[in-house]
Structure 1
Amino acid sequence: MKKISLLASLSLSALTLAPGHAQNRSYEGEYKMNTWSVTVTPMLTRFVGDLSQGVYRAVPELGPGGKQTAAIGLSVNKQLTHLFGASVNLSTGQLRDGKRQIYNANFRSDFFQGSLTAQMNLKSLLFGTRKLKRWKWDVYTGIGQMWFDTRVYDLTTGNLIRFSNNRFDYSSLTAGRWEGDGSRFTREIVVPLGTALHYELTPRLDLGLDFTLNNVNTEKLDMTVGSTDPNYNSNPANVFLFRRGDSKLDKYASLGLALTYKLGRNAVRVGKDGNYDFTKGRYHLRWTDPKDLIKPPYNPTMNDADSIAKANMPKPVDPRLYTDTDNDGVADLFDKEPSTPAGSVVSGAGVAMNLDSIISSLLRSKLTPECEALFSNIEFDTDKATIRPASQETLRKVIELLNVKTNCGIILVGHADYRASYGYNVQLSKRRVEAAKRFLTRAGLTDASRVLVEYYGEYRPVAPNTSGDNLQRNRRVEIRIVPQNMLRSPRYQSGFRTDPAEPR
């Protein structure tokens, strides 16, 4: 029953680690990597225990002779990280040996073994991942169970002396216990310790040399109990008792040629130049450290940085976009008449217009649906927000126009020259647009909601503050008559502030 439960446990572990069960999932890191592999290992075996002297039957034709013993193993491997992995291992084979002194006997044991092992990649741990890229040196250990059927023969006569499990000859399920259920095999715990040296032949195949020392938890693998007491050793029945003899626990070693097939998609390996390129496919985690796939940060030289900056530098903006030579409110880039007289009323294209003629025309045709964009400026004295008489006349004409053209709106934009602190100039430009708005509403504008204001202080000059004339041009309120639907645009509905804390 115990044997069945252990077999079930090993089978469940194998299914859990098997590539089919895990759907061959790759390494869960920044780069996709393959992690599963299968290894087949034919091996030579050598017993270490009481009946260990390399002596076999004197008369080979009467029984087992002195052949070299062998086994074959199958492993399913899962690489957990670049340095650590785990394996489910199954092996079957035979052990033989004998000793003339004291025992005058040899034995043959057929065995089957299953184990779980953990591996550590010593090559990368000791030498790093950049050296010996095609080589891999592992050490491993684990735990498992061994089932064996051992038969002992007399060296002189070749007669069968005893064997491990037989229902009627002091046999046992576990060597040293007499339970006798008729099972052919005896079971014991085994602890494998080993090392392996691998070479990566291709992106799919590795070839390695594998040495394992299997420590079996019994001194009765050869059905012999060592003792310094002749009386104890002379009684063959003592091998079935619970008591131990004076000999050490039995062991056996194996030396095998391991052929590993690496599973996964788009398998690749590092090139001869030692450079990794994850775009070509998936490297295997047992051979490649994920850190090596990360490209080193690019540190440009001063020349590189200068070239990159020049390549990404935006094209220079036409300076005419920020200049208004004639101070009519239309940038030179769009102004079709860049030299209109000061105080002129212009269209959206900067063309001078006769405001009286426009108003007279509109008065004669009150149902005219269009609202043309008009621009004009009014100027102020130094540090004043008082409307000049000439500017008042301009504003009255604007009121007359707006009262007729109800589909028009007006935007007042206040400015100042630079001769004060920044905060003071902002407040001064605010007082100027408020004075202009107050004049419009008091002088007869029927719908004050059509007036919007902005103010920027010294932030948007139209001329350099280098002369008296230029300073005068910068002390201004821009008058922009626009279609009223422009006032409903996102620029005024979401981003516009009639009383901003600071200029936009």
Structure 2
Amino acid sequence: MKKFTAFLLFICLFAHLTNAQRRSPAPSRETGYDKPASVSVRVGPTLLFGDLKESRSAWTAGAQLTLPVSRMLSVGLAGDLGRLRGEESAFYHARSDCRFGQGTLVGMLDLLQLGKEKARLSEFNLYGGVGLILFNAKAYDLTTDQLLRLTNNENSFRSRDGIEQRGRRGIRNTHELSVPVGVRFSSPLSRRLSVTGDIRYTFVRTDKLDATLDNNNLTLKDGRAQTEQILYSQNTHDRFGALSVGVVYYFGERQKND
């Protein structure tokens, strides 16, 4: 998780530098709208959609630095930490626990500004992005709580295609591509502060978020860590959803036409 911690520190440092906008004079109301850079924090439950189909809620928390490109368009750097859980009794008879960290580059489109001459302080953003998720997942027997499968231990390794071993063994966290999409609504509390609600769905290039592969109920008794075993394209990729609430702080007073 050291790389992910460094990523969060980068967000905090960038936010501190962006805070210099506070010193700039307030924009004229004749310009119509000023949307400063902002930093947000969020927290909420997650749901895993994998082979263990009986999802169990877990929690995630994150932060995002957002920079405006225009009145409608913004870009952001987001970081999240959390857990994902699932279980299935009929075939796998197992439960899973996954701890993850994720860093994402996000693009946001504010639909409330579409076709409006007078801007609003409220926002309704559609967003999507691409990022890197680091995770470590384990699967346990529902009855005995015995460890059945895991994604990372002293035998784990990196792979570009899901099969071929690359580099050294002993990778602590699996690294995979992630693609989050979602919507976020923001309601102003003041010209510098808003409360938000966020719904997002994340696609991940792996079938291992629940430490379980498609129709594969094998227990790794030799201590080897879980691999995809077949090409990435031949596995059903796992996904997860999150519902979050949070607050947004703007590094300057937002203005709008009266």
Q: Place the TM-score, normalised by the shorter chain, in its bin.
A: 0.7 to 0.9
User: What is the aligned partner in structure 1 of residue 236 from structure 2?
Assistant: 248
Matched, 1:172 2:157: yes
CA separation of 1:91 and 1:23: change in aligned 2, threshold 3 A: same
Deviations along 1:23-44, one digit per CA (max 9) or x if unpaired, are 3386999959452111010111
Q: CA deviation at 1:87?
A: 0.9
The aligned runs of 1:201-280 (5 Å cut-off) are 201-227=189-215, 233-236=216-219, 239-244=226-231, 247-264=235-252, 267=253, 269-270=255-256, 275=258
**1:20 maps to 2:30:** no
Secondary structure of the 2:112 match is helix
Alignment of 1:363-402 (within 5 A): none
Are 1:91 and 2:80 counterparts? yes
1:154 alignment partner AA = D
- In the TM superposition, structure 1's runs of 4+ consecutive aligned residues that sit over 6 Å from their partners are 25-30
Larger radius of gyration: 1
Q: Shift of the alpha carbon at 1:10? A: 4.9
Change in CA separation of 1:9 and 1:153 when aligned onto 2, cut-off 3 Å: closer
Q: Which protein is richer in helix relative to its size?
A: 1
Aligned positions, number: 246
What is the aligned partner in structure 2 of residue 35 from structure 1? 36
Cα distance in 1, alignment partners of residues 226 and 172 from structure 2: 17
2:36 and 2:18 map into 1 onto residues whose CA distance is 14
Distance change in 2, residues 1:226/1:28 (3 Å): farther
Verify the 8 A CA contact 2:121 2:254 in the aligned structure 1. Answer: no
In structure 1, the residue corresponding to 2:230 is in which secondary structure?
Answer: coil
- Mapping of 1:284-433 within 5 angstroms? none
CA drift of 1:104 comes to 1.1
**Secondary structure, aligned partner of 1:18:** helix
Within-5 A mapping of 1:179-190: 181-190=169-178
Q: Which runs of 5+ in 1 are unaligned?
A: 55-65, 228-232, 276-504
For residue 184 of structure 1, report the CA deviation from its aligned partner: 2.2
Q: Using a 3 Å threshold, how does the CA distance of structure 1 residues 220 and 244 change in structure 2: closer, same or farther?
A: farther
CA contact (8 A) 1:78 1:87 kept: yes
CA distance in structure 2 between the partners assigned to 1:198 and 1:259 by the alignment: 8
With over 3 angstroms needed to count, the CA separation of the structure-2 counterparts of 1:173 and 1:28, relative to structure 1, is farther
Whether contact under 8 Å (2:203, 2:239) holds in the other structure is yes
Contact preservation (8 Å) 2:198, 2:243 = yes
Shift of 1:124: 1.5
Q: Does 1:160 align with 2:147?
A: yes
Q: How many angstroms apart in 2 are the aligned matches of 1:129 and 1:172? A: 55
TM-score by length of 1: 0.44
Take 1:12 and 1:268, find their aligned partners in 2: how far apart are those partners?
26
- Over 3 Å counting, the alpha-carbon distance change for 1:39 and 1:174 in structure 2 is farther
Question: AA paired with 1:187?
Answer: H
1:140 partnered with 2:137: no
Displacement of 1:77: 1.0
Q: Does 1:116 align with 2:105?
A: yes
Give the whole-Å Cα distance in 2 for the aligned partners of 1:236 and 1:142.
35
Provide the C-alpha distance between the structure 2 equivalents of 1:174 and 1:73, rounded to a whole number of angstroms: 28
Does the Cα contact within 8 Å between 2:34 and 2:255 map onto a contact in 1? no
RMSD after superposition: 3.3
SS of the residue 1:23 aligns to: helix
Q: Which has the bigger relative contact order, CA under 8 A and spacing at least 6?
A: 2
In the superposition, the TM-score normalised over structure 2's length comes to 0.81
What is the deviation of 1:268?
5.2
Q: Give the Cα–Cα distance (whole angstroms) in 2 for the partners of residues 257 and 156 of structure 1.
A: 35
Query: Any unmatched runs of 5+ in structure 2?
Result: none
More strand, by proportion: 2
Kindly tell me: are residues 35 and 144 of structure 1, through their superposed partners in 2, closer, same or farther at Cα, counting changes over 3 Å? same
Distance change (3 Å), C-alpha of 1:87 and 1:221: same
1:18, 1:134 → 2: CA distance?
21
1:79 to 40, 54, 68: 68
Contact preservation (8 Å) 2:149, 2:226: no
CA distance in 2, matches of 1:33, 1:19: 20
What is the letter of the counterpart of residue 43 of structure 2?
Answer: P
Tell me if the contact between 1:74 and 1:91 (Cα under 8 Å) persists in the aligned partners: yes
In 1, Cα distance between the equivalents of 2:148 and 2:229? Answer: 20
State how far apart, in whole Å, the 1-side matches of 2:179 and 2:13 are: 22
1:200 matched residue in structure 2: 188
**Which residue in the other structure is 1:150 paired with?**
137
Please give the secondary structure, in 2, of the residue aligned with 1:51. coil
